[in-house]
Structure 1
Amino acid sequence: MSKTNTVRIESLHDWTDDPAQAVAIQKRLREALRIAPLVGEVRYLAAVDTGFTDGGSTARAAVVLYRWPELEPIEQHVAFAPVRFPYVPGLLSFRELPVVLDALACLSLKPDLILCDGQGIAHPRRLGIATHLGLVVDIPTIGVGKSRLTGRHQEPGPEKGAWEPLWDGDERIGTVLRTRTGVKPLYISPGHRVDHQQAVDWTLATIGRYRLPEPIRAADRLASNRGRKPNT
């Protein structure tokens, strides 16, 4: 397999276990993020999520790769690593992203778009896990958050597809999106190399019978599995 067809991980910084250093890294990386329309065809779409085992001491990251537009799962991998960063709201990418990168490195095909269970720019420093991931792998990413980390918004209408912008001051940082009629909305934000409308459109395009996009549901099930450690 050609290296151009697999995920390339950029060495943008060292992985620290110091929260103050992590905040400084986020502020520096923020200057490199791009909120712009996704360019090019999406043939492969991936989703990532992280769970924890061994009483929380081991992180278990899952990636599921789909062929698009069939939304056909074609590959999945799980990676394990010791947890080295403390739980600090706003710094979860330093706790989870190293093992997510290990899982992505197992893919034989490079995704054209990655959905992340977590925030993109809907983050106090605009560097949630989806944005951080997008910068490190230079792949378009979208953050799909189940709850609000920061920002203010009006309540969207009750029907599927209703949405309201998420604001921080005068800056739009995401979208509060109702993905199923009558259920709690999701907090959708661009990660990197995707704009607000595309983030909403891709989320809705991957919704099935449930509140979360199907690829993220699959990654969540794989990441939270408490069975034996698989080889893939």
Structure 2
Amino acid sequence: MAPDGWTQAVRERLGLGRLLPLGGAADGAWLAERAAIGVLRGAAAGVTGVCLGTLRVALGDPGAAVAPAVPAPPSALPPGPLRIEADFAATADEPLPQAAWRLRDALLAAASDRLGLAIAEVDLRVTGLLDAAPVSTAATGPTGGNAPGTPRPDGPRERAAAAAVSVPGVLRLTSTLGAPVHLADGHVRVELATAADHRALDVALAVRAAVAKSQDGHPTVAVLVTEVGQ
């Protein structure tokens, strides 16, 4: 029997993983761990002689986390330095520490340059040796442009949606946590997917500015990036 709407929503929400702080406390942006891992795995696939295993991103020091400047999405992690933890296997063509450094550099570069995550530490663990270098496969992700049509800017929700999709780097609005635009008590939360050729944090900041400008009464704005193009 097909799951009811509530069960399906819970499954989709759990599939996002943690909601990671994107940028710092003042940036008002979060990124689904699932989206972050997709980008990080894509970067690791370009490291020759290495095969990435398990991968997770979490707060490096929960005690160092701070309160966000705007209301966070439900169950989102507070802003603070993040930690990447990963297992990998490598060939014996080079010393394992050298392979680990190449993998670490690739993960850090992707986290910073593609996403905008504040990574304080990368913890890598070797779990095996490879007989041959793995064959790289292209990562897949969201493709295409903005959703068809432009929302009519009638009410505050419609104006926020129109402002968000007008920002370069926004592929489309998404609705994993509910409506793509959530309005409550002087606060606006926008959920979206970003393009592969735009840094996720930069897109989120531009969306925050555009959405705030579209509203009356100077509401706070938060952005949740649920998908990142590969």
Q: Same fold (TM over 0.5)?
A: no
Report which of the two structures shows the higher radius of gyration computed on alpha carbons.
Answer: 2
Q: TM-score range by the shorter chain?
A: under 0.3
TM-score, reference length from structure 1: 0.25
